[in-house]
Structure 1
Amino acid sequence: MSEAFEQYERKYCELSANLSKKCTSASLLDGEQKKQKLSEIKSGIDEAESMIRKMDLEARSLQPNVKAVLLAKLREYKSDLNNLKSGIKQITSNSLNAAARDELLESGMADTMTVSADQRSRLMASTEKLNKSSDRIRQGRKAMLETEELGVSLLQDLHQQRQSLLHADDTLHGVDDNLGRSRRIMTNMSRRMNRNKCMIGSIIVVLIVAISLILYFKLSK
């Protein structure tokens, strides 16, 4: 896997975990403290989006088999980021509603006990939603880890198959070299046999001529 992608991934996971905690704490704050916390969260969201874009560019520059695994992980991270954004929108909406409610309270148009109960119920609902989002994020990370393990196992299998093919290719080259040497030896042996046959034939012809001459001289006497 790409080292650059792993660095961006670690940075994003740290940001995501930190933003989840900040969202939970922001839902329990009021006034200026809540505004400051939301500002920090929005800044973290921008940084997380930057990490997502960097991971996307890095993943698309890799080989297809690695690229497919990383893009699958990236989809989970994008889903995680969208959940965080939804949580922030909910908290911001609650903040606006709380501000409007405070204005009505100051003008005497709402009952204090009713508003307090409504605020508590909304805070509880927001906290519950954030907890559910955190659970989904944990499940998504677990699935991504399983996908990563599967991808690593697949790459290891492909590497082993490549080594086996290279070994088979080396073996075939060795067999081809041995066959070439055998052909040369057989050719040399054939040439030697032909030379020996010629020599034996020549000796036989000489012997026949010699025997014929001896018989001729003996019979002529």
Structure 2
Amino acid sequence: MASLIESYEHQYSSLTADITVKIGKLSKTHGLEKQNVTLQVERLFDEAAELLEQMDLEVREQAPKDRQKYQTRLKSYKTELDKLQKDFKRARLGLDSRDELLGLEDIQDSSDQRSRLLDNSENLERSSRRLDHGYRTVVETEEIGAQIMEDLHSQRQTIQRSRQRVEEMNSNLGKSSRVLSGMMRRIIQNRVLLVGMGAMILVVIALGIYFTVKKSQS
């Protein structure tokens, strides 16, 4: 893998050398030629950044004793590439002094800050809308819960009234059953009395006939 990293380093050196040459050429060109050189430099920067990413992956695979060495090199390559990008920006804009470049960067930073503030404001507004929606949902849920509790209370009262009516019906049925039982006992008693009276009448009649026949024979 070390040889692969060294190959990446050679490619990176070639790219940065080409970038340096084209940046120097950029300040001396105008119009369409300057646009073409700008595009070429941007492509070279993309290739260099991609190459550093591949190199970073390879460095992570190195043994611990070699990893620190290559990480130090990689860090210096990234620093160098950042410096070249600033040089490219200055050359592309035709700025001759570092102070002008810093002033431009301050303007860009201010614009970035405004953009971030706007983004934060939009995020806060979206969060506020979500909170309002959540609050309305909670209120609606509470109302639904209160309605459900009221319905359950009403159903409970209905069930209690139905239970009371059933208990009253059971009580009335018990009373009716006791009345019917008493009536049945009286009916049975009356029948027994009637049977007994009938039997007594038959006995009396039989005795009367017997004595009458006996008396006529004598």
Q: Which entry has the higher C-alpha Rg, 1 or 2?
A: 2
TM-score normalised to structure 1 length: 0.45
TM-score normalised to structure 2 length: 0.46
